[in-house]
Amino acid sequence: MLWWLEMENKDHVTPAKPIPGAIIPPKRPLLPTVPARSEITKPGEPFTNSCSTDAEEIAKLPTQGIDLGWPNERMKWKRLTENAMKWFDGAPRPSTGNVVVPYIYGRCAFDDIAEALATAISSDHRIYLVGWWYEPDTPMKNPLVGDPPVNTLLQDYLKNTKAQVRGLFWNSPLKGRDGDNKKIADFINSLPNGAALEDAKLIEVKLPNRLWLPNIHHQKLIVVSGVFGLVAFLGGMDVNKTRVNVFGNMPLHDVHVRLNGPSAAEALSIFRDRWMDHPSTPELDSAKFQMNPDDVRQDFIRVAASKSEVMDTCTVPGGKVKPRGMLVSIGRTFPNLAKFKPGDSYRFKNPDQSAWQLVKNGITNAKEFIYIEDQYLVSRRVKDLLVEKLKEPNFKFLLILMGNSKAFEDKGAGEFPYLIGVRNEFRTDFAKVDPGRKKWRMFSLKQTTDSGRRPWCGEFVHSKLWIVDDQYVAVGSANCDDRGYTYDTEIMAGITEEPIERAAGGRFARDLRIALWRKHLGLDHSHFVNFAVGLKHWLTLPASAMVFDSSDLEESSLLNDTKGLTRDDPTANFRWTHWLDPDADKL
């Protein structure tokens, strides 16, 4: 047993005692002690879930405000404000007054996206789509029983709107495979009120004296300006069938957020910058909308200034979102295009590594706990920072959930050659600091045998998520790889409560972590209120867990069937740094 874990409450949740003199009470009344039931989901017992289950159950859990009263109220407020702002050092200044809704199930995110699209009903309204891979026939309404309602495919919402629809999609060189956006671009361009591009304003496929080294447009963003004003959706979810159905079941695991408030306009600015910068858009705007570039620029200003009312959501019982004042910073990745493609450049800020800054700030400012979910987990710049964090005596635990290595490199090159060897670098360097794994552990998802769970929970990790000290969340499209932080185009959101919201008991990061751990481990939400207590169920997995420990070194067929490290093989390492996962700062 870890020394600090022994000091935590045992297997129950106990609300803290009220602090005398607190001038801001908790938002919810403190509940009596809630025993965390020891039983787990019985074999064969259906996993019961709905889009609002997490919010309904988490609302029953205790929260506590923070005393800002006399004495030293000014000092307390100063510290609370500094603690909130530290996550954004060197990143775009966060906006205030935001309401954020998280999604950990694709069917729930798509349901709310569909509702937002349906509010765009007039010619003054707008729909903006940015993505790595969209499928026009994606079902946006996905009931567990029966067929989807008619006219609820993505293409139906786009076809039936009177709003202007614009799309920017990655122009994949791998036509006919995952990431091919010809169908969605062609569909939007077939609409009288639609204009779309397969965007190839990227680094050249081949560079002199280097291997094949393209970059990709990997941002995932939807912005709608409709009856309720501006709303944005961003995160790891591509709008295609894999988020709701993979061979009848097991959708990819992913995390997304909905933004209302100034952050929605800041997310829109990414679309605006790319659209106004692209040489092909003036012709499209003129042909489809009879608008010149200045007209379009003014239109973006108008849309960004529109109201941003909070719509209902399927993720809360009754649909009504409780307003929470959230700080949100929108980070980007754009490479220095001129460095790699002389004669071409972006006319907006580049290079831009503010997405990386939001992640970096989370690591460097962590005091006790870091929880990561990531598809790849191979960034060496991240690894170096995490190693330093493990050396800090007061840091308690680094918990990682990552995609199964065999999904990317299994008896051959696969999707991401040499990934195993780089992950072995993580394991090796972590073990040098902490050979007993008292402060770190790595896990991957596995299939569930519970038929009731399969429509909700798949085995493929696609999320790109950081939760730090149950206070800060970084989520978006940037994988934990060096190309995502420096070379491809990405979008990330850094999120925490405004100081007054934190003092009143707001716990966005904690609540998101509780929902995720319940999804992965299959235990009641009450087991996970406290990070340290919930961690026990990772270290001793229950039968209902959909995860397995992947902390041990793995064999790689690309490294002569050894448990080797990519960095120790000169050929493999060159391919890694100059082809597979380049760090643009080092090229």
pLDDT in tens, 553-579: 999 999 999 999 999 999 999 999 989
Q: What is the pLDDT of residue 539?
A: 98
> Measuring CA to CA, which residue among 465, 479, 551 is closest to residue 515?
465
Q: Same structural domain for residues 150 and 281?
A: yes
Looking at residue 235, which CATH number applies to its domain?
A: 3.30.870.10
Task: Please state whether the predicted TM-score (pTM) of the whole model is above 0.85.
Answer: yes
> Measuring CA to CA, which residue among 112, 117, 104 is closest to residue 167?
117
> CA–CA separation, 479 vs 581, rounded Å?
11
> CA–CA separation, 53 vs 34, rounded Å?
18
Look at residue 343 and give its three-state secondary structure.
coil
Instruction: Classify residue 522: in a domain, yes or no.
Output: yes
Whether the pLDDT of residue 1 is over 90: the answer is: no
| Least confident span in 109-113, 210-214, 368-372, 509-513 | 210-214
Domain count, the chain: 2
Q: What is the pLDDT of residue 47?
A: 72
Q: Same structural domain for residues 364 and 315?
A: no
- Considering only CA atoms, give the Rg of the chain: 23
Q: What is the pLDDT of residue 411?
A: 66
Whether the pLDDT of residue 251 is over 50: the answer is: yes
Q: Same structural domain for residues 440 and 494?
A: yes
Instruction: Classify residue 55: in a domain, yes or no.
Output: no
Instruction: Classify residue 9: in a domain, yes or no.
Output: no
Instruction: Classify residue 126: in a domain, yes or no.
Output: yes
486-509 per-residue burial string, b: 16 or more CB within 10 A, e: under 16: bbbbbbbbbbbbbbbbbbbbbbbb
Whether the pLDDT of residue 511 is over 60: the answer is: yes
pLDDT tier, 324 (very low <50, low <70, confident <90, very high otherwise): confident
User: Domain residues for 190?
Assistant: 93-323
pLDDT, one tens digit per residue, over 78-105 is 999 999 999 999 999 999 999 999 999 9
pLDDT, one tens digit per residue, over 359-380 is 999 999 999 999 999 999 999 9
pLDDT tier, 516 (very low <50, low <70, confident <90, very high otherwise): very high
Give how far Cα 412 sits from Cα of 400, 405, 424, Å. Answer: 25, 12, 17
- Under a CB-based contact definition with an 8 Å cutoff, are residues 137 and 154 in contact? yes
Q: What is the pLDDT of residue 35?
A: 30
For the beta carbon of residue 21, count every other beta carbon within 10 angstroms. Answer: 11
How is residue 397 written in tokens?
Answer: 């635990």
Beta strands in 173-297 (DSSP E): 194-199, 221-226, 229-235, 256-260
> CA–CA separation, 579 vs 566, rounded Å?
13
Q: What is the pLDDT of residue 30?
A: 30
Q: What is the pLDDT of residue 207?
A: 58
Residue whose tokens read 């100059």 = 578
42 Cβ neighbours under 8 A, 6+ residues apart: none
Whether the pLDDT of residue 22 is over 70: the answer is: no
Q: Same structural domain for residues 259 and 302?
A: yes
Q: What is the pLDDT of residue 181?
A: 97
Look at residue 216 and give its three-state secondary structure.
coil
Whether the pLDDT of residue 472 is over 80: the answer is: yes
Q: What is the pLDDT of residue 308?
A: 95
pLDDT tier, 36 (very low <50, low <70, confident <90, very high otherwise): very low
Residue whose tokens read 């800002």 = 68
Whether the pLDDT of residue 15 is over 60: the answer is: no
Q: Same structural domain for residues 406 and 314?
A: no
Whether the pLDDT of residue 17 is over 60: the answer is: no
The mean pLDDT value for 420-448 works out to 98
Q: Same structural domain for residues 302 and 359?
A: no
Q: Same structural domain for residues 417 and 555?
A: yes
Q: Same structural domain for residues 313 and 409?
A: no
Whether the pLDDT of residue 6 is over 90: the answer is: no
Q: Same structural domain for residues 538 and 409?
A: yes
Instruction: Classify residue 21: in a domain, yes or no.
Output: no
> CA–CA separation, 154 vs 162, rounded Å?
15
- Partner residues linked to 194 by β-bridges: 165
Whether the pLDDT of residue 300 is over 80: the answer is: yes
Instruction: Classify residue 471: in a domain, yes or no.
Output: yes
- DSSP for 195-215 reads EEEEE--S--SB-TTS-B---
Instruction: Classify residue 87: in a domain, yes or no.
Output: no
The mean pLDDT value for 21-42 works out to 34
Q: Same structural domain for residues 140 and 260?
A: yes
**What backbone phi and psi angles, to 5 degrees, belong to 69?**
-90, -175
> Who wins on pLDDT, 27 or 580?
580
| Least confident span in 56-65, 207-216, 442-451 | 207-216
Identity at 77, one-letter amino acid code: W
How is residue 383 written in tokens?
Answer: 């690894």
Q: What is the pLDDT of residue 40?
A: 44
Write the burial class of residue 34 (CB in 10 Å: 0-12 exposed, 13-18 middle, 19+ buried): middle
Q: Same structural domain for residues 118 and 164?
A: yes
Q: What is the pLDDT of residue 7?
A: 37
> CA–CA separation, 454 vs 49, rounded Å?
11
Q: Same structural domain for residues 298 and 256?
A: yes
Quickly count helices (H) and strands (E) in the chain. 18, 17
The mean pLDDT value for 537-560 works out to 97
| Least confident span in 38-42, 130-134, 428-432, 442-446 | 38-42
> CA–CA separation, 272 vs 92, rounded Å?
17
Per the prediction, the chain carries an average pLDDT of: 91
- DSSP for 134-200 reads --TT-BS---SSSPPPTT-BHHHHHHH--SEEEEEEE--SSTTSTT--HHHHHHHHHSTTEEEEEE-
68-106 per-residue burial string, b: 16 or more CB within 10 A, e: under 16: beeeeeeebeeebeebbeebbeebbebbbebbbbbbbbb
pLDDT, one tens digit per residue, over 149-182 is 999 999 999 999 999 999 999 999 888 888 899 9
pLDDT tier, 64 (very low <50, low <70, confident <90, very high otherwise): confident
The mean pLDDT value for 128-151 works out to 94
Instruction: Classify residue 390: in a domain, yes or no.
Output: yes
Q: Please list the alpha-helical segments (H only) found in 317-453.
A: 337-340, 354-365, 380-391, 419-433
